[in-house]
Each structure stands twice: as C-alpha cells, then as structure tokens.
Structure 1
C-alpha cells in the first residue's frame, strides 16, 4: 500500500513538474515570425486526447488537410510539428539538414541518443557519425561479395511455405525477414529466432502505442521498480546484448577454422589487422552497428510483403499483368535479381506497394537543433519533426487517385511519377519512404532486392485468391486495418493460393536446397556460444533472459494483439 501511495505521489509530482517546465519554457516569437497553425492545445495535455490508439496517421492526415502542409500540436508539453508535403519535408529535412538531422529522446528509451546502441535512433553526435560511416563501408564492400545469394535462398524457402500453408503467411514472412538479415549480418540463419524476439520488443519500446511513457512523457521519470515498461526494456536489452556478443564470437570462430560465411561482421573482422580499414574501430562499435542494421531490416521488410498480398486480393488485375511480364522475360523460371532491368513492372509493383501502404506511415521523427523560421513560421529548438508519409503518398497531384493501387503510375509517361529509362526506373533510390537528408536509410539497396525477389517470386509461383466459405462466398478482406505501432503491418486476413502449373516440383526442390545446412549452422552457433563461456552462471543463460522477456510479453494483452 505504501509503495502504491509513493508511486501515485511521484506521478503527480512528475506531472506538475512537466506542466511547470512547459509553461516556463514557451518561447516568444521572433520579430516578423508567426506561429504555425494547428489545433488548439489544451493545458498540459495538448491534443493527446484526439489521437486514436490505432490508425493515428489518419488523424494527423486529417489535420494536415485542415491546417496545411506544416502544422503543430502539443502532447504533454512536447511540441510536435507535422509535415504532410514532400516539398516541405525536403526543404527542412534535406536542404536544412545541418539543424534538422537530430533525433528526439524516446521517453521509454532515454539513452537512445547517446549510448551507441541504437544507430537509427541515435542523436546527431560523433558516435552516430562513426557508426553510420562504418555501416556504409560494410554494406558497400559486402555488396561486391557473395551476399546477394542470401535473399534468394530465403525467398526460395518462403515460396514453398506460403504455397503449402498460406494460413501461416505472417509467420513465414517474419521468418524470411529475420533469417535473411541474420545471414547478411552474421552469415547464419541460426540467430533469427532470438532476433525476432528482441526486434519486436524494441518496436514496442519505441512506439507511442507500445509504451505509455512515450505519450505521457513524465512517466519516464519513474524508477525501474515502479515502471513495467523499464523492466521489460531492460530484459529485452539483455537478450539483445547476449545475442550480438554471441554472433560476433561465432563469426570469429568460423574465421579461425576457415568456415566463416560472407557477412557484414566477417567483412569487418577480416580487415582489422594493423593498417587495415577497420584497425581503429572497436569491436563493440561494430557489434552494435551490425546488430542494429539487422534489427532495422527485420522490422521494415515484412510489412510491405504482407501489403503486397493484400494488394493482390483487392487488385487482381495487377497480379495477372505481373505474371505475364515474368513469363515473357523469365520463360518459366523464377525471377532472379539479375533479371531486374528487364522486369520494370515488378519494380513498379514494389514501389507502388510502399506508396499505397507505407510501412512507417508517421515517419521516423527528427528533432530540430536550433530555432528556425520557415515561410514566415517559427519552429522552436527541440521540436519533434514528423514527415507524415501517409499524407506525402496521398498527394493527389503527384499521385492521382492515391487510394488506388496502380503501378502504371511508375511506368506510363502520362503520370507525373514516370521516369525513363525503364531499364533503370522505377527504383527505390531517393524515395521518401526511406527518409530525408542525413537520416536516409542506408540499406535501401538491400530492401529493394528483398522485395523484388519476394514479390516477383510469389507472382511467379502462385495465384493469390480470396478464401471461400462452404457456401461459395468470399471471406471479406480488410482494406486498411493495420497494427498501431511505429512500423505498421496489415492486420491478419485470409486468402488461398493456387500453385501455378508446373511449379510445384520446382518449389519443393527450391525449398529443399534453401534449407540444406540449417542444422549444421545451428550446431555451430550453439556450440560456439558454449565454448566462449557465454552460458556461464555469471554471464546468465541467454535462454533464461529471453524467457524473462517473454514473460513480460505474455502478460501484455496489447503486445499479444499486435505480435505478428
């Protein structure tokens, strides 16, 4: 009882302090500047009561239509600025990137800006610059190695699983993403299962809908014993650190025995000798840089693949057109990455899926580092800046009939988005979906390859069709029901597949070849962890820490509902 009283008193004190700070730190407008438009804020809470728990981007889009391409609102004393125009986002986040490239503090992850543990969420500081340079170097060098085979291998495994068990499509897609990024990062799919656990946990930690302190920010001041969100994140982070340590040790052991497969970590370790490119880079830096690259990939790639299936059910004519192009070019075989120049429609479908259902509809937030004035409007230092992708991709001038899934907008000259030559365009380079300015995603080429292979492969292998009830009627498929987290995924839907003529035996063979060696990889990975002493009582068994996190997961109904 005493503990509860202390918690309540602490929350009230924190709330009053937050109110005091928000009142006393409001800045006067510079001469000649005017305040940004936006909904009228209520004292202390701002407009938080108007933001729905699910589909928040639809409300922000509605406000953008009312108040214009840039507007402001408060949430518990924090200033949020929403941009619903690509040109405004480019002006601020790209052309003024020297002051718009920071990240805000995430209340439920207060060390995100400076710890070096969260590359994509880090503040604009020396650690971020160093890790970003390292990530660029690893991906550039590895692109010339044998890493392109990994997405193809995992795609081949995915096709058979979806073709034979379509009801479990979300599981198979999540396996594809985690296994692919694990191979790219560490040369093995063995870490994929644990990677999925920590990845989903991090998404919960950073999402406004996933952790209450991200909305009611003063709750971040609660001590760990009084904060279930802090305890859950501590358990998740322990899993993550054990996993990353274990993966680096496994790659090093493989290199010593001449068994290491190509990977980002293998690229790093092989060039660490005196005078080498990475001689001065700490292993810890590389461990977390690569680990966060893996998490970013595991988080983002699955959503558009699920949205592709949704699009094929609502717009089946594009499935037929896609299949016709693949048949003409590939003559019966499954599309390969080397076919991309001759498959513009596959590339157009990939880009249109991302536009039609953006996986990060609210955008990844930036923070402005100094006071600024834009088009006469005052933007205060420290404000959180959101490039609202849902609105950007619904610009009726750039994207006529924006709610319609229409890959032709990338292929035909009559559309403003058309660009020649079709052997190169459309592609995902410089696409707003991957951020702006100095915060542009560095893994665009990997994402593009994964999506090209999976969407092209699914169209080649099977017809995606509505599921029928016993009376012959089609089971309804939702139009726009998505999970509420920062990276949104379609809510579950039902469908059936028909394996296309002559494909079944090929799919079985592709699946068998893709899965060969999995047991050997797992044995090597688990054996190395034991050899390195990572499972000692002092260090704590990874599986026990993982179980601790999963206990939190089981007790959280919201986590259960949004888990894919």
Structure 2
C-alpha cells in the first residue's frame, strides 16, 4: 500500500513539474511569424484524449484535412508537428536537413540519441555520423558481392511453406524476413529466432501504443522498481547485446577456419588490418551498426508482404496480370532478381503495396534543432516532426483514387506518377516511404530485392483465393485493420491457396535445396562444431539471458492481464 501511495505521489509531482515546464518555457513568436494551425490544446494533456489507441494515423489524417498540410498539437506538454504533404516534408526534412535531421528522445528508451545502440533512432551526433558512414560502406561493398542469393534462397523456402500451410502465413513471412537479414548480416540464418524476439521487443519499446511513457512522457522519470517497462527493456537489451556479440564471434571463428560465408560483418572483419578501410573502426561500432541494420530489416519487410496477400484478395485482377507478365517473361520458371528489368509490373505491384498501406503510416519522427519559420509559421526548437505517410500517399492529385490498389499508376503515361523507361522505373529509389533528407533509409536496395522476389514468387507459385465456408460463401477479409505499433502490420485474415499447374514438384525441390545445410549452420552457431573458447561462453551467456527475458515477458503479460 505504501508503495502504491509513493507511486501515485511521484506521478502527480512529475505531472505538475511537466505542466510547469511547458508553461514557463512557452516561446514567444518571432516578429511577423504566426502559430501553426491545429486543434485547440487542453491544459497539460493537449489533445492526447482524441488520439485512438488503434489507427491513430487516421485521426492525424483527419486533422490534416481540416488544418492543412502542416499543423501542430500537444501531447502532455510535448509539441508535435504533422506534415501531410510530400512537398512540405521535402522542404523541411530534406532541403533544411541541417536543422531537421535530429531524432527526439524516446521516453521509454532515453539513451536512444547518444548510446550508439540504436542507429535509426540516434540523434544527429558524431556517433550517428560514424555508424551511418559504416553502414553505407558495408552495404556498398556487399552489393558487389551479389548477396541477393540470400533472399532468393529464403524466398524459395518460403514459397513451399506458404503453398502447403497457408494458415501459418504470418509465421512463415516473419521467418523469411528474420532469416534473410540474419544471413546478410552474419552469413547464417541460425540467429533468426532470437533476432525476432529482440526485434519485436524493441518495436513495443519505441511505439506509442507499446509503452505508456511514450505518450505520458513524464512517467519516464519513475524509478525502475515502479516501471515494468524499464525492466522489460533492460532484459530485452541484454538479449540483444549477447546476440550481437555471439554473432560477431561466430563470423570471426568461421573466418579463422576458412568457412565464413559473405556477410556485412565478414566484410568488416576482412578489412581491419593496418591500412585497411575499417582499421580505425571499433568492433563494438560495427557490431551494433550491423545488428541494428538487421533489426530494421526484420521489422519492416514482413508488413508489405502480408499487405500483398491482402491486396491480391481484394483486387484479384492484378494477380492475374502479374501471372501473365511472369509467364511471358520467365516462360514457366520462378522470377529471379536478374529478370527485374523485364518485369515492370512486379516492380509496380511492390511500389503500390507500399503506397496503398504504408508499413510506417505515421513516419519515423524527426526533431527540430533550432527555431525556424516556414511559410510564415513558427516551428519551435525541440518540436517532434512527423511526415505522415498515410496522408502523403493519399494525395488525390498525385495518386488519383488513392484507396484503390492500382499498380497501373506507375506503368501508364496518363498517371502523374509514371516515369520512363519501364526497364528502370518504377523502383523504390527516393520514395517517401523510406524517409527524407539525411534520414533516408540506407537499406532500400535490400527491401526492393526482398519484395520483388517474394511477391513475384508468390504470384508465380500459387493462386491466392478467398477462404470459403461450407455453404460456399467467402469468409470476409478486412480492408484496413492494422496493428497499432509504429510499424503496422495487417491483422490476421483467412485465405486459401492453390498451387499452380506444374509447380508442385518444382516448389518442393526449391524448398529442399534452400533448407539444406540449416542443421550444420545451427550447430556451428551454437558452438557444437567449433573449438571451445570465447564463442562457447558467449553462447552459454545468451541462453541464460534469453531465458530471463522470456520469464519477464510471461510475468509482464500476466501482470497486464490481471490489471485488466
């Protein structure tokens, strides 16, 4: 009882202090500037009561239609600015990137800006610049190593699982994404399961709907004993650090034995001798840079693949058109990355999936580093800026009939989004979905390969059809029911698949070839086929920490259930 009283008293004190700070630090408008439009804020809470727990981007979009392409609102003393126009986002986040490239503090992850542990969420500082340069270099060198063999291999594994067990589609797609990025990062799919655990945990940590302090920011000041979210993140981070350490040790050991497969870490370790490209780069920097690249890929790629299935159910005519193009170009075989220039419709479907249901509908937030004035409106230092992708992709001038899934908008000259030649366009370069300015995602080429191969492969291998009830009626499929976290994924839906004529034997063979060697990889990763030493110790430590994290997850879930 005493503990509860102390917590309540602490929350009240923190809340009053936050209110005091927000009032006393309210900035006076510069001469000639005017305040941004937006809904009227209530004292202390702002408009947080209007933001729904699910589909929040729909409310932000509604406000954008009412108040214009840039507006502001407060949430518990924090100023948030929402941009619903690509031109405004480009003006501020790209053309004025010197002051709009920072990241805000995430209350539930207060070291995100400075620790060097969160590349995509890091502040604009020397650590971020160093890691960003390293990430660019590793991906550039690896591109020359032809690493698309990894997503092709995992795609071939995925197709058979989807064709034979479609009810588990979300599991198979998540396996595909985590296994692919694990291979790219460390040359092995063995770390994929643990990567999925820590990735999902991080997504919940940083999402407004996943952790209360990300909305009620002053709660971040509560002590650890009164903050289950802090204990959860500490346990998750321990798993992550052990995993990354173990993966680097595994690659190093493989290199010493002459059996390391190409990967980002292998590229780094291969060029660390005196005078080498990475001679002055610390292993810790590379370990976390590559690890966060893996997490970013595991987080984002699964959502559009699931959305593709949803689109094929609602717009089956595009499934037929895809299949016709693939048959004409590939003459019966499964599409490969080398076919991309001759498969513009597959590329158009990839791009349209991302537009129709953006995987990050609210965008990744930026932070303003100094006061600014835009089109006469005052933008205060410290404000959080959101490029609202849901609104940007619903501009009816750029995207006529935006709610219609229509890849033709990228293929036909009558649409404003058409570009020639079709051997090159459409592609994902400079697409708003991947951010603006200095914060543009560096892994666009990886995403493009993964989505091209999976969507093209699914269309080649099977017909995606509605699930039928015993009376023959179709089971309804939702249009826009997505998870509420920062990276949104479609809620579960039912469907059937039918393997296309002449594909079953080929699909089985593709799966067998793709899965061969998995057991040996697992053994090597767990130290069972390697010499004793640091690697075995790290493996033991990771297993122990993983167990602690899973125990905490169960306890946290039980606590949340009993509170409800």
Shared topology, TM-score over 0.5? yes
What is the CA–CA distance in structure 2 between the aligned matches of 1:432 and 1:182, rounded to whole Å?
26
CA displacement 1:232-256 (0-9 Å, x = unmatched) = 0000000000000000000000000
Q: 1:354 matched to which residue of 2?
A: 354
The 3-state SS of whatever aligns with 2:198 is helix
C-alpha contact (below 8 Å) 2:362/2:387 kept by paired residues: yes
C-alpha contact (below 8 Å) 2:526/2:539 kept by paired residues: no
C-alpha deviation, 1:67, in angstroms: 0.2
C-alpha deviation, 1:556, in angstroms: 5.0
C-alpha deviation, 1:539, in angstroms: 9.6
Closer/same/farther in 2, CA of residues 500 and 561 from structure 1, 3 Å limit = farther
C-alpha deviation, 1:492, in angstroms: 0.2
C-alpha contact (below 8 Å) 2:464/2:496 kept by paired residues: yes
Closer/same/farther in 2, CA of residues 511 and 295 from structure 1, 3 Å limit = same
Closer/same/farther in 2, CA of residues 123 and 563 from structure 1, 3 Å limit = farther
What is the CA–CA distance in structure 1 between the aligned matches of 2:85 and 2:552, rounded to whole Å?
39
Closer/same/farther in 2, CA of residues 274 and 536 from structure 1, 3 Å limit = closer
C-alpha deviation, 1:543, in angstroms: 2.3
C-alpha contact (below 8 Å) 2:523/2:529 kept by paired residues: no
What is the CA–CA distance in structure 2 between the aligned matches of 1:285 and 1:38, rounded to whole Å?
42
C-alpha deviation, 1:8, in angstroms: 1.3
C-alpha contact (below 8 Å) 1:108/1:229 kept by paired residues: yes
Closer/same/farther in 2, CA of residues 416 and 319 from structure 1, 3 Å limit = same
What is the CA–CA distance in structure 1 between the aligned matches of 2:121 and 2:563, rounded to whole Å?
22
Closer/same/farther in 2, CA of residues 219 and 199 from structure 1, 3 Å limit = same
The 3-state SS of whatever aligns with 2:497 is strand
What is the CA–CA distance in structure 1 between the aligned matches of 2:540 and 2:157, rounded to whole Å?
34
Closer/same/farther in 2, CA of residues 472 and 562 from structure 1, 3 Å limit = farther
The 3-state SS of whatever aligns with 2:528 is helix
The 3-state SS of whatever aligns with 1:394 is coil
C-alpha deviation, 1:225, in angstroms: 1.1
What is the CA–CA distance in structure 2 between the aligned matches of 1:532 and 1:382, rounded to whole Å?
51
Closer/same/farther in 2, CA of residues 284 and 476 from structure 1, 3 Å limit = same
Count of aligned pairs: 564
C-alpha deviation, 1:560, in angstroms: 10
Q: Is the deviation greater in 537-546 or in 273-282? A: 537-546
C-alpha contact (below 8 Å) 2:103/2:365 kept by paired residues: yes
CA displacement 1:238-296 (0-9 Å, x = unmatched) = 00000000000000000000000000000000000000000000000000000000000
Q: 1:85 matched to which residue of 2?
A: 85
The 3-state SS of whatever aligns with 1:537 is helix
What is the CA–CA distance in structure 2 between the aligned matches of 1:528 and 1:245, rounded to whole Å?
17
What is the CA–CA distance in structure 1 between the aligned matches of 2:249 and 2:91, rounded to whole Å?
44
C-alpha deviation, 1:548, in angstroms: 2.4
The 3-state SS of whatever aligns with 1:509 is helix
What is the CA–CA distance in structure 2 between the aligned matches of 1:309 and 1:553, rounded to whole Å?
31
CA displacement 1:285-339 (0-9 Å, x = unmatched) = 0000000000000000000000000000000000000000000000000000000
C-alpha deviation, 1:550, in angstroms: 2.2
The 3-state SS of whatever aligns with 2:535 is coil
CA displacement 1:70-110 (0-9 Å, x = unmatched) = 00000000000000000000000000000000000000000
C-alpha deviation, 1:547, in angstroms: 2.5
What is the CA–CA distance in structure 2 between the aligned matches of 1:36 and 1:464, rounded to whole Å?
47
Closer/same/farther in 2, CA of residues 539 and 16 from structure 1, 3 Å limit = farther
CA displacement 1:177-198 (0-9 Å, x = unmatched) = 0000000000000000000000
Give the TM-score normalised by structure 2.
Answer: 0.98
What is the CA–CA distance in structure 1 between the aligned matches of 2:267 and 2:516, rounded to whole Å?
24
What is the CA–CA distance in structure 2 between the aligned matches of 1:538 and 1:197, rounded to whole Å?
18
C-alpha deviation, 1:5, in angstroms: 1.6
C-alpha deviation, 1:537, in angstroms: 8.7
C-alpha deviation, 1:146, in angstroms: 3.6
C-alpha deviation, 1:529, in angstroms: 10
CA displacement 1:444-476 (0-9 Å, x = unmatched) = 000000000000000000000000011111000
What is the CA–CA distance in structure 1 between the aligned matches of 2:47 and 2:171, rounded to whole Å?
37
C-alpha contact (below 8 Å) 1:249/1:529 kept by paired residues: no
Closer/same/farther in 2, CA of residues 277 and 19 from structure 1, 3 Å limit = same
Pairwise CA RMSD of aligned residues? 2.2
Structure 2: runs of 5 or more not aligned: none
C-alpha contact (below 8 Å) 1:186/1:265 kept by paired residues: yes
Closer/same/farther in 2, CA of residues 558 and 4 from structure 1, 3 Å limit = closer
CA displacement 1:475-529 (0-9 Å, x = unmatched) = 0000000000000000000000000000000000000000000000000010179
C-alpha contact (below 8 Å) 2:242/2:538 kept by paired residues: no
C-alpha contact (below 8 Å) 1:11/1:219 kept by paired residues: yes
C-alpha contact (below 8 Å) 1:83/1:385 kept by paired residues: yes
C-alpha deviation, 1:30, in angstroms: 0.2
What is the CA–CA distance in structure 2 between the aligned matches of 1:53 and 1:474, rounded to whole Å?
30
C-alpha deviation, 1:546, in angstroms: 1.6
Q: Is the deviation greater in 220-229 or in 54-63? A: 220-229
Closer/same/farther in 2, CA of residues 377 and 531 from structure 1, 3 Å limit = farther
1:380-419 map, 5 Å: 380-419=380-419
The 3-state SS of whatever aligns with 2:490 is coil
CA displacement 1:36-75 (0-9 Å, x = unmatched) = 0000000000000000000000000000000000000000
What is the CA–CA distance in structure 2 between the aligned matches of 1:189 and 1:562, rounded to whole Å?
37
The 3-state SS of whatever aligns with 1:359 is coil
C-alpha contact (below 8 Å) 1:350/1:451 kept by paired residues: yes
C-alpha deviation, 1:557, in angstroms: 5.3
The 3-state SS of whatever aligns with 1:385 is strand
Closer/same/farther in 2, CA of residues 539 and 163 from structure 1, 3 Å limit = closer
The 3-state SS of whatever aligns with 2:537 is coil
Q: 1:378 matched to which residue of 2?
A: 378
Q: Is the deviation greater in 526-535 or in 361-370? A: 526-535
What is the CA–CA distance in structure 1 between the aligned matches of 2:294 and 2:143, rounded to whole Å?
15
What is the CA–CA distance in structure 2 between the aligned matches of 1:538 and 1:436, rounded to whole Å?
39
